Amino acid sequence: MAKKILVVDDEPSVVKMVAFRLKKEGLDVVIAQNGTECLEKAKGETPDLILLDVTMPEMNGHEVLVKLKESAETKSIPVIMFTAKGQVEDVERSSREGAVDYISKPYDPVTLLGKVKKALEGQYGG
């Protein structure tokens, strides 16, 4: 059975490109366009991994990540933060909040797939 990835981003073009790349690798892709939708789908779809954008309206990725890690239903799902913000503080904050990795936009497709596979194989300490 294919691994399921929840891609969370408020930019349709980013979601479309990432979903295309992941589906090409044989992965199932579920999409959420905001934090609230992410939390609902994380519980309902039980993804194997979440790619989570940081900069979103209403609830940012950091707030979503904290809620995911506080919930017994979703705390064990690995999360890779996905954002245009590549500052060291953001990377450190994401790590403190429980993210297993960080991908900066614009992203390199090979790097994206490598980090996704690494997370799916449980190669992060989580």
- Given the structure tokens 């790349």, which residue do they identify? 21
Per-residue pLDDT of the chain (126 residues; tens, 9 = 90+): 789 999 999 999 999 999 999 999 999 999 999 999 999 999 999 999 999 999 898 899 999 999 999 999 999 999 999 887 667 888 899 999 999 999 988 889 999 999 999 999 987 654
- Residue 8 DSSP label: E
CATH of domain 4-119: 3.40.50.2300
Cβ-contact 45, 76 below 8 angstroms: no
State which amino acid sits at residue 62: H
User: From CA 37, how far away is CA 17, in angstroms rounded?
Assistant: 20
Q: How many CB atoms lie within 10 A of CB 79?
A: 30
pLDDT value of position 1: 74
pLDDT value of position 126: 44
What is the pTM for the complete model shown?
0.94
